[in-house]
Chains A and B, each alone.
Chain A
Amino acid sequence: MENEQHKSIILKLYIAGTTEKSQAEAERLQEVCENHFPGKYKIEVIDLLERPQLASDEQIFAVPTLVRDLPLPVRKVIGDFSNVEKALVGLDLLPRSH
């Protein structure tokens, strides 16, 4: 078991149903994070069709939504994740200059 205490970045990707598109987004996210933050991150993929309650609990209005739980404060981006780098910039995980 990985110790979450050691992860400085925790990301949650909210999706609705496993589709080819959502699958590809998750894989791409994993790949980019591995590239930039090897060993320091954790990604959680949450399917709202399976766990609808989380939508209101976590205040998820639409999918796809990517949430930065850590580092605090919590940040969210919604919309098109075809460009993962851009999403990470939106979450202030990568510098804006890109």
Chain B
Amino acid sequence: MNPRENKTDQRYLKIINESADGIVIVNDQGKALFANPRASALLQREPHEITGANFGFPLFEEESTELQIPRSEGTLSHVELRTVKTTWEEQDAYICNLRDITAHKNTEHKLRESEQKYRSLYNSIRDAILVANTNREIIDCNEAFTELFGYRLTEIKGKKTSLIYANEEEYKAMGEAIIMHKGDPKFLFNVHYKKKSGEVFLGETNVFYKQDADGNVIGFLGLFRDITEKEKADKELRDSYKRIRTIGNNLPSGIIYRKRLKKGVKPKFTYISDKVKQLHGCTPEEAMKDSDLIYNNILEDDLKLLKKERNRAMEELTPYSIEIRVKRPNGDIHWHQVISQPHKIEDNYIFDGIEFDISTRKKSEEELKAISARLARQNEDYEAINEELNQSNDQLQQLNKELEHAKEKAEESDRLKSAFLANMSHEIRTPMNAIMGFSGLLDDPDISPEDQKKYVDIIQNKGEVLMQLINDIVDTAKIEAGYLTLRYENINLNDFFDQVYTTSQNTIKQKGKADGIEMRYRKPLPDDKVNIRTDPVRVRQVIDNLVNNAIKFTNDGYIEIGYQEPEEDLITMYVKDTGIGIPEDKQALVFERFRQIEDEQNPDNFYGGTGLGLNIASNLVGLLGGSICLDSVEEKPDQTGGTTFYLTIPYLPVSNVKSASVKEKLSEIPNWKNKTILLAEDEESNLEYIKEVLRPTNINMLVALNGKECVEIFKANPGINLILMDLKMPVMDGYEATHQIRQLDQKIVIIAQTAYALTGDKAKAIKAGCNDYIAKPIKKQLLVNSIYNHISQR
């Protein structure tokens, strides 16, 4: 090595040794070949400790890398390592340049910490913050901004701020305003912004200038708040105020107000609606300036009342409602109602209230009171009426029940009538067939006198049956119409029962039951003790009916007739049999019309009859002022049956009896030589029959062949005692003739006669003016008796 080279080396070595950076030279195995003093200091090792040690092969790239060196005091030195490849003593070697960057590193760390602190503050602010440069390009935003607008910083960084504006105009205006206000944060801008979602909202914005260290404006920082809700609330408040004002002005004759009261201070109206002019004669402004303009109008007593109520309300903070009288500017007194409730704010009592004119209502109330009193009285009346109605209703219900019952009865009666008509058909046809049949046989000229007698007997017998039927119907009709009149006579009861006994025995014989039935007869009293007054015809009718029933329903045993000793004013007759009896459940029904016994086991076993007999009997007894009842045991295989009918009638004893018997009286022929009868009859055979019947009485007879003739003959012959009027005649019928004769003479006796013994005919005849009625075919005795009764009465 020459001195010149050595000198150069020395120079380089000096530079290396005085270098501010540490220098370590390593070979390709990482072994340190050289270290300068600075490296020794940095690594905190003596140079000889480094040289020859395994320093480590430096992994290097084009750029530097950072290393840490642990210091003895426990801290770290930060070193920047740069590695350059070289040769050292003709071997590959690497120069490791170590620069101490510890101080720089610490500053950097502090800066980062500071930034971190501001960043977290920036992000924790609830207002949205957007930072832009002077070109209005976005630099930064905080988390609140992301939350409000929906944009993340990465999406919008570098873009124009116009993207958050809802419209171009406001974006431009904002740009001008920012410059005009020089970033003074006191100014607030209300701008419509658009979120990422497209939603537009009203934002309140402060804008600050961002300045560098020298005070140059380098950008803007905006603070945004969504004030949509606030704006809505403000608007609602404004609307609400407007509404209150509208309501106040719409009150027909009233005001609404707000009044502030403080103890010891005059009340002040802070709001009063327009109609105060109408109620108190002053404008709202005037009233708000001086509340006395209102209070002075209130009558003194009422003002006292108002103040009292107000004080109470203030103490209790409860509402009050009072009625006061107010004097209008024209002098009229009006009634006002004031309703208000106070609330307290610090020392002040705020009264929100309404006041309105109730004069009309007051007047109505007075009227209402009067009406109310009247109504109360009326109410009492109505209650009484209601009570009556309730009672009446009960009665109606009762009546309804009765009607219902009657209806059921009527329906039952209807049903029975139908059954009756069916029976009738049978009852009439049976004897009629016999009559027709045997009449035809009589027509045969070769018939023997014995047969002739037999046929005539049958015809007469059947005729009687028919007559009974017709009589029953007529009686029923008479009773129903109330035309049946009683004819009282004095009779001897023993005589009466003698006749019944005789007749009954005959009937038993006729029925062919003489072998089976014994007829008994009991007369407990002597003849002179049983003279009584009654209608013998009707009593006989009842007894005959009972006896005929007894015969009909008895096949063997006995039938007993008779009477019991009178008890007080009643006498009881009875008919007892040992017949089939009446089932217990049917006993109450036997007196009803059309009830007939039915053999349930054998419906064909028909006993015959009209179903009227007992009904007629019962009705007749009723007419006689008495009663009928029965006692019956139904015949069963193990017991003997039997029925007893008891007929009880008033007991009217008399001293003597003129006629011996009914039968005798009927058979006696009267002498009517001085009497004149007018016969109105168009049928010649009938006429002849009547003439024949009446001839023995020696009565004078005049004949009319129709109604017209009858009237004329009556006019021409004043001596006529009685007219026998056929109702069916040519030219003029009997009704019309009777009618015309009655116009001439009220007293003349007219007896109607017709072939149809129907209720309607009889009623019609009586209505036309007839005194009595005789059904065809006319029986001799009946006709004589009838004429006798009428003529004798005169």
Given that A77-B30, A79-B65, A80-B65 are known contacts, is A63 also in contact with B70, CB under 8 Å in the complex?
yes
Stretch among B54-62, B260-268, B752-760, B768-776 lining the A interface: B54-62
Cβ of B278 < 8 Å from any Cβ of A? no
User: How many contacts A-B (CB < 8 Å)?
Assistant: 75
Q: Which chain B residues numbered 212 to 271 have a C-beta less than 8 Å away from chain A?
A: none
Give the 7 A-B residue pairs with the shortest CB-CB distance, closest first: A76-B56, A78-B56, A80-B65, A79-B59, A62-B67, A48-B70, A16-B68
Contact in complex: B65, A65 (CB < 8 Å): no
Chain A, Cβ-Cβ closest to B50: A61
Contact in complex: B74, A49 (CB < 8 Å): yes
Cβ of B43 < 8 Å from any Cβ of A? yes
Given that A16-B76, A61-B43 are known contacts, is A79 also in contact with B58, CB under 8 Å in the complex?
yes
Contact in complex: A78, B70 (CB < 8 Å): no
CA distance A79 to B81 in the complex (A): 8
Chain B, Cβ-Cβ closest to A61: B43
CA distance A49 to B69 in the complex (A): 10
Cβ of B400 < 8 Å from any Cβ of A? no
CB contacts (< 8 Å) of A65 on chain B: these are 56
Q: Which chain A residues numbered 10 to 53 have a C-beta less than 8 Å away from chain B?
A: 16-17, 48-49, 52
20 contacts between A and B (CB under 8 A): A16-B68, A17-B76, A49-B74, A52-B72, A62-B98, A63-B67, A63-B68, A63-B70, A64-B67, A75-B30, A76-B57, A77-B30, A77-B56, A77-B58, A78-B30, A78-B55, A78-B58, A79-B59, A80-B65, A81-B59
CA distance A87 to B58 in the complex (A): 9
Contact in complex: B56, A52 (CB < 8 Å): no
CA distance A80 to B30 in the complex (A): 15
Chain B residues near A (Cβ < 8 Å): 29-30, 43, 45, 50, 53-61, 65, 67-70, 72, 74, 76, 79, 81, 83, 98
Given that A76-B57, A77-B57 are known contacts, is A61 also in contact with B76, CB under 8 Å in the complex?
no
Mark interface residues in A63-88 (1 if CB within 8 Å of B CB, else 0): 11100000000111111110100110
With both chains docked as a complex, state the minimum distance between the C-beta of B792 and any C-beta of chain A, in angstroms: 160
CB contacts (< 8 Å) of B98 on chain A: these are 62
Q: Main SS of chain A's interface residues?
A: loop
Cβ of A55 < 8 Å from any Cβ of B? yes
Given that A76-B55, A78-B56, A78-B58 are known contacts, is A61 also in contact with B29, CB under 8 Å in the complex?
no
With both chains docked as a complex, state the minimum distance between the C-beta of A48 and any C-beta of chain B, in angstroms: 5
CB contacts (< 8 Å) of B69 on chain A: these are 61-63
Given that A75-B30, A78-B58, A79-B81 are known contacts, is A59 also in contact with B67, CB under 8 Å in the complex?
no
> Number of contact residues on A: which range applies?
20 to 34
Q: Pick the contact of B57 from A52, A59, A80, A90 — CB < 8 Å?
A: A90
CA distance A59 to B51 in the complex (A): 12
Chain B, Cβ-Cβ closest to A16: B68
Given that A59-B53, A62-B79 are known contacts, is A77 also in contact with B59, CB under 8 Å in the complex?
yes
With both chains docked as a complex, state the minimum distance between the C-beta of B468 and any C-beta of chain A, in angstroms: 142
With both chains docked as a complex, state the minimum distance between the C-beta of B70 and any C-beta of chain A, in angstroms: 5
Chain B, Cβ-Cβ closest to A83: B59
CA distance A89 to B83 in the complex (A): 17
Given that A49-B70, A52-B72, A62-B69 are known contacts, is A90 also in contact with B59, CB under 8 Å in the complex?
yes
Chain A, Cβ-Cβ closest to B55: A61
Q: Pick the contact of A79 from B67, B70, B74 — CB < 8 Å?
A: B67
CB contacts (< 8 Å) of A74 on chain B: these are 54
